[in-house]
Structure 1
Amino acid sequence: MTVFTITFSPTGGTQKCADLLANGLAPSHTVIDLTDRTLDFASIAFSADDICVIAVPAYGGRVPDIAVSRLRQLRGSGARAVLGAVYGNRAFEDTLLELRDTLEAAGFRPVAAVTALAEHSIVREIAAGQPDDTDAAQLAGFAAKIRERLESGFVPEPLAVPGNVPYRTFGGVPLKPQADPAACDGCGKCAALCPVGAIPADQPAETDAAACISCMRCLSVCPNSARAVNPDMLAGLAQKLNALCGERKQNELFL
């Protein structure tokens, strides 16, 4: 049995949650990075003996479109999948259901699902520091229960998760990171690591706003803190989310 984590984690929170789950299932695991646009996802195949922890962030209560596209290219071949929807303390809404449907279509067999909290990728003071020690303990407990499910050999048909069809509409986030030309030294790290190629390699101080998915990867990897979003728009979003996210949500397990 080989354990994989398959994650779309532009700012690292989703990967942390996936690692906490995977570490509870096996001492080591292989990472497949859905943000890496250089990978040939259609060439990646699994077997029925494999366990895949597949985690994505909730973008407006949905799976990011680019993650759906790349997951659809994988060949599940009956591999058992542990689903993860990671969100910044607002809501995950239809994320788990869309992820389950996408994975079943790609040939995976979902056996369990988890929703987990991580620091909000845009308004960083929301769920700041999560997953923290409390989350780690909860996810370790979830992993123990999932391991029991895997050892039993039972696969639910289908795995019951919350959500609605049609999935909720999500039109994206208007906050698009821009670079300060005076601070940008042209290193190109943001361009190389952008999951959707929205930053030209030869002009890394620019951003293709139409292609940008507001994942904030460029902010998290810039060594000079040269990228930022409009501060007035950020303040407005923070005010709105703080009104919705005052009470700490709980991680949940679905078996």
Structure 2
Amino acid sequence: MKKYILIFVAIVAVIGIFAYSNSSKSDQSAFFKDELIKSGLERFGQPIEGFNAFIYLEAFPGFEEVDFDGVETLEGKMTFKDGTLTFERTADNPITSAESMISDEGYTTLMKNFSERIGVNVETEADVATLLEKLHESNGEPNANGDDNTGILPFKSGAMGKVLLGPTCPVEKDPPDPNCADKGYATTIQVIEKNSPKSSLFSSVETDKEGNYKVFLPPGEYELQALGGKTFPRCEWEDITIEPDTMIKIDLTCDTGIR
């Protein structure tokens, strides 16, 4: 009888250790996910359909395509084969535009792949922090000692400015009435890459309550539009060209329809 009790206790202990290990890994993966998304938002803004492998590869040059092999998404997984990373759909449910967004399980796989490639053994959140520091160093960011690494920090480029709403009075006066000046407009700004369908959003950003906005973008040509109402305010598109390592200032205007 005593023998069976000892066996039972041993089994319970093993199960407990296994459960603790899984819980610990889950916590580390959640920390990795949260910190990676936070950094991604700083560099990229908020992707409409969430972060996927290709966005992370743009935002973090320290990643390689092989790091995303087997990474699970909402409706499939990423596959790296013959030097090419592709999305493989596995879900039977109707296709959505967020099919390639990385899932919670996918972040666990990504953390495992990346840590194994660069040789960081992840056991604690401190190890995850080291892992992320290695990723940032690969991006050319200063390390913990403040030393610069090779390369250029991605997405120091982008656009900033203010969304202005006007006219605010039916009759303009000369000299202008300060009370009738255009006012800041709190809204959402859509970013669309030039030569792509206008229904295909590259990113979006919320203004503050005064209408100020800032969005980080990789170099390229884009269209910006502040969202208005069904009829008014009516907001115009603005074409912009983003150069490397440059933030441009561009104000967006929305017509109130007041005449």
**TM-score, structure 2 length as denominator?**
0.22
**Bigger Rg, structure 1 or 2:** 2
Q: Higher RCO, 1 or 2 (CA under 8 Å, sep at least 6)?
A: 1
Higher strand proportion, which one?
A: 2
